[in-house]
Amino acid sequence: MNILVRGTNWIGDAVMSVPALRRLRAAFPDSRIVLHTRSWADGLFRDADFIDEIVTYDPKRWRIQDIYDNSRFLKDDNYDLAILLPNSFESAITAALSRIPRRIGYNKDSRGLLLTDPIAVPEWKSRRHEAFYYSNLIGEVERRVLGHFDPDYELKYAEIGVSTERIAEARAFLADNGVDLSRPVAAFGAGSTNSNAKRWPVERFADLADRLIGERNMNVILLGSKNEAEINQRLVSLSRYMPIDLSGRTSLDEAVGVLAASDLMVTNDMGLAHVAPAVGVRTLVIFGPTDPQTTSPFSDKAAIIRHPVDCSPCMLRECPIDHRCMTRISVDDVLRSLDNSEDVND
């Protein structure tokens, strides 16, 4: 059977869908599974052992152009089944125009008539982790296509393999940028796209960097997109020991390798917070306005740092009051969380 899986649109969601993709592979071990996703995801899934092929695209300015282009080339591959992880209308109409005979996805965004098997959104969606939402869809695929499914399936953590070659390239890149590879490497994610409310104060990131470098003999590197370069530059200016700023200098592909070559990540709730533990890195994630119950990294390598306040989770992008959910988290809180987690030197 030829199976096309339409991938998610954001980095964090892509990682949270990994357990479901592994479940799909287990259910269809002999099928060809192709992931249709945005081009940035190639760097995330390149070494994945649970898919056979990645077909990528770059979104155009006009959505109708995406639908036309994608359906035209997908039509020639004779897929038997399309599984739509995103809830969008666009993904459903693309699968329908590709003439894929079986199309399974959640009945959202007025797209029910475009699906051969529209699946009702589970009533527990807002109370359980997103990984279970994606896995539930695969369970429905098993039931409807194979005629059976395991209601007690034990969902595995999100894990993504990274080749030794990519890690070696990342280590060479770090060394070329002044990282002393004889010492542990701590990566920071001090930004967050489109949400200032999710950002722990940059002054505290700077203080944390100084303490990790000065007291714990660690390297500190700063990761992020070009949009996060400004906050990382400010972090460097506030630090005595000058962490190494790599923001805007790595693609997602390269960032995956850099994280796999690191020993620790300390980060706000952002896409790389999901990537780091998925590639095996001990990760401390600082949560404020968002809900860790539904969108924290799905991994035993991630620890959540959070100060409960009455107004959180509010899901706002800008705090209308005093940002207490983040400002009440101290540098000592983060260091205690680090000491309570596995030793990053192990």
Residues 49 and 123 in one domain: yes
- CA separation, residue 212 to residues 205, 224, 238, 274, 311 (Å): 10, 19, 15, 22, 31
**C-alpha span between 128 and 295 (Å, rounded):** 9
Q: What is the pTM of this model?
A: 0.94
Helix H or strand E segment including 222:
strand 219-222
Is residue 190 classed as helix, strand or coil in its secondary structure? coil
What is the CATH number for 334?
A: 3.40.50.2000
Whether residue 9 lies inside any domain: the answer is: yes
DSSP letters along 13-37, please?
HHHHTHHHHHHHHHH-TTSEEEEEE
**C-alpha span between 250 and 79 (Å, rounded):** 35
| Region 25-31 average pLDDT | 96
Residues 182 and 316 in one domain: yes
Domain boundary among 116, 146, 176: 146
State residue 210 phi and psi, 5-degree precision. -60, -40
Residues 142 and 178 in one domain: no
Residues 176 and 141 in one domain: no
Give the confidence band of 59 by pLDDT, cuts at 50, 70, 90. confident
Q: Name the pairing type of β-strands 2-6 and 185-189.
A: unpaired
Whether residue 151 lies inside any domain: the answer is: no
Domain boundary among 98, 114, 146: 146
On whether the CB atoms of residues 226 and 247 are closer than 8 A, the answer is yes
pLDDT at 344: 43
Residues 66 and 205 in one domain: no
Q: Who has greater pLDDT, 65 or 37?
A: 37
**Ramachandran bin of 235, using left for φ above 0, alpha for ψ from -120 to 50, beta for the remaining angles:** alpha
Whether residue 163 lies inside any domain: the answer is: no
Whether residue 154 lies inside any domain: the answer is: no
Whether residue 252 lies inside any domain: the answer is: yes
Residues 304 and 186 in one domain: yes
Whether residue 106 lies inside any domain: the answer is: yes
88: which 2 tokens? 């969008």
Helix H or strand E segment including 57:
strand 53-57
Strands of the 185-189 sheet, one edge to the other: 244-245, 219-222, 185-189, 264-268, 282-287, 302-306
Residues 129 and 209 in one domain: no
pLDDT at 194: 80
| Region 190-207 average pLDDT | 93
Whether residue 288 lies inside any domain: the answer is: yes
Residues 21 and 106 in one domain: yes
Give the confidence band of 309 by pLDDT, cuts at 50, 70, 90. very high
**CA-wise closest residue to 232 among 242, 240, 76:** 242
Q: What sign has the CA pseudo-torsion 126, 130, 131, 136?
A: positive
pLDDT digits (tens, 9 = 90+) for 213-263: 999 999 999 999 998 999 999 999 999 999 999 999 999 999 999 999 999
pLDDT digits (tens, 9 = 90+) for 136-180: 999 999 999 999 888 888 999 999 999 999 999 999 999 999 999
Which structural domain, as residue segments, surrounds residue 182?
Answer: 168-340
Which amino acid would we find at residue 138?
I
Residues 138 and 173 in one domain: no
Domain count of the fold of the chain:
2
Residues 125 and 24 in one domain: yes
Residues 194 and 331 in one domain: yes
Q: Across the chain, what does the average pLDDT equal?
A: 94
Whether residue 158 lies inside any domain: the answer is: no
Residues 226 and 77 in one domain: no
